[in-house]
Each structure stands twice: as C-alpha cells, then as structure tokens.
Amino acid sequence: MKNKIIIGVLILVFVAAIFWLISDQEKVDEPDVDKVFTAQEAQEIAQEWIENQSLTYTFDGEGLTLIETSVVEEGSIYTFVFSFESRSAGYGDRSDEMTAQVITSHEMMVVVDNGEVIRAITDGVYSEIDGEMIDEDEQAIAPKTKVKLFFGKMGQGEELVYVERDVEGSGSAAILKTLEMLIAGPTEVEEDDGYFTSINEETKIFGLSIQDGVVSLDFSSHLEEGVAGSATVTFIRNQIKETLLQFDSVDDVIIAIEGRTEDILQP
C-alpha cells in the first residue's frame, strides 16, 4: 500500500513537472507585448529581416542602406525605408525567369510593430511578405515622385522641353523608372501635342550605378542605331542628361554603350 502511494506521488510530481515545462516554453515563445523597442532595436530587426527573408534582396540584393526612419508609435511601431541594388531587373525570386542583367535600384518600406515585421513593400509595388505584386488600390497610396522627361517639340527647334510624370518611390528607384519612361518616349496624347524623342525606344539599359553624384549608364547598341548628324547625337545626349540632372543626388552623367565610352554616338 505504501509503495502504491509513493508511486502515485511520483507520477503526480512527474506530470506537474511536464506541465510546468510546457507552460514555461509557451511563455518563452510568446512575444513580449509589454517590451518597449527603441528605434535602433526596431531598425536592426528590419535590417535582419530584409537580409534573411526579403525575397528580392536575398535573391541578388546588395548595398542595403537606411535612408529614412519614421516613428508611428514610440516604443512599438516604426517605419523604415531602405535603399539597395539588385544585379537584375524584377522582384522576388527570379530563378526561373529570364531577367535583364542590369543594376536595378530599389527602395523598400518596412513596418516593424512590437518587434515584428508586419509590412515590407519594394518600390511601392511588390509585397516582400506575400511574394507578389500588390493590387492597384494599394499602389495608389504608395509614395510617388513627380519627375520631368525632356523631349523635343515641333516648332521649338533643337530646344528641349519637358512633360511631367509620376513615378513610384523616390531616390535611386525613381531615377531608374524615370530613365525607363524617357526611353519609352512620349505617350500618344503627347505625340499629338507635338512632342517627339530622338532616343530609339528599343534601347535597353544594361547598367545603372550612382556613386558620388555621378550616374554611370550602359545602354544597348540600339541607342546609336540609325543616328545621323551631330545635332541628333547632341539631342540624344541632352535628353538623357537633362532628365537625370533634375535629381538633387545627380551632378554628372556618364554614358556608355555596351561597355564603351569612347567613340559612341558618332554622327
């Protein structure tokens, strides 16, 4: 009888110990909602998440740089904007895609709530958490930058004139998108108003990098195909340079064609 009581007590003690261990582990796993996070701690959480879980950055991103911090709720909610570059165009895991090998600038907005990344949007169009492009309603509220595209206009001779467009994002990401729109040329409405471009719309951007205020561009050979006359050459160069020099971060522009900077865009 005595042995049975001892065994029963031991079983109860064993069960209680197991229950305590499980309960204690659950407490460890639960987020501490009462913890106060500093902006620095939240920034480190955001940066570590990007470097290890962001689909676009982990695929081929580099040069992660914090460019903006916003305090939504002191101690718990913070918003950060990081810039980085990818070695190819596109978003997410592009292992199964044919992508252009062009240095592409991006900006990612990350929201950290109580130590957890709850939102991560690249260039205002791609959700890093969901791994998909966001819908148009969400894109409509993404930050936009108003930019100028420099074209020619009938009756203005060789003078450059500009039209205004909106691009998603800001900084280096906006620079790339602006250049892409310049190459695409005027819209049908703008053409009807007399605007024109001397840049071949088939031109591809092979490379774009920014260092110490200098933008280095590498284009496909389409940029100089069919170019005739020094006036046209000058016009093309001026279109590109004037469009990019509008950005405060750009002081000069270097143009290359398939890696060559000498003897290009000859009349």
What residue type is 261 in one-letter code? T
| Residue in this structure with the two tokens 């990081």, named with its chain if needed | 82
What does the pLDDT read at residue 48?
Answer: 96
Q: What is the mean pLDDT of the chain?
A: 82
What are 215's two structure tokens? Answer: 């933008």
Half-sphere CA count of 131, side-chain side, radius 13 A: 6
> With 90 as the cut, is the pLDDT of residue 87 above it?
no
pLDDT grade for 239, boundaries at 50, 70 and 90:
very high
E strand or H helix at 195:
strand 195-196
What are 249's two structure tokens? Answer: 């971060």
Task: Kindly state the average pLDDT of the residues 219-243.
Answer: 89
Longest dimension (CA), the chain: 112
Q: Which of 81, 266, 64, 235 is nearest to 159 (CA)?
A: 235
What does the pLDDT read at residue 248?
Answer: 86
What whole-number distance in Å separates Cα of residue 139 and Cα of residue 170?
14
pLDDT grade for 6, boundaries at 50, 70 and 90:
low
Domain boundaries, the chain: 39-140, 144-257
Where does residue 194 fall: left (phi above 0), alpha (psi -120 to 50 degrees), or beta otherwise? left
Q: What are phi and psi of 124, to 5 degrees?
A: 75, 5
At 14-33, the pLDDT tens digits run 555 566 655 555 444 444 55
At 155-213, the pLDDT tens digits run 888 899 999 998 876 666 678 889 999 999 999 999 999 999 999 999 988 877 777 88
What does the pLDDT read at residue 170?
Answer: 63
What residue type is 241 in one-letter code? K
Q: Which of 197, 203, 215 is nearest to 264 (CA)?
A: 203
> With 70 as the cut, is the pLDDT of residue 224 above it?
yes
At 118-146, the pLDDT tens digits run 999 998 889 999 999 887 665 555 567 78
Q: Are 137 and 67 in contact (CB under 8 A)?
A: no
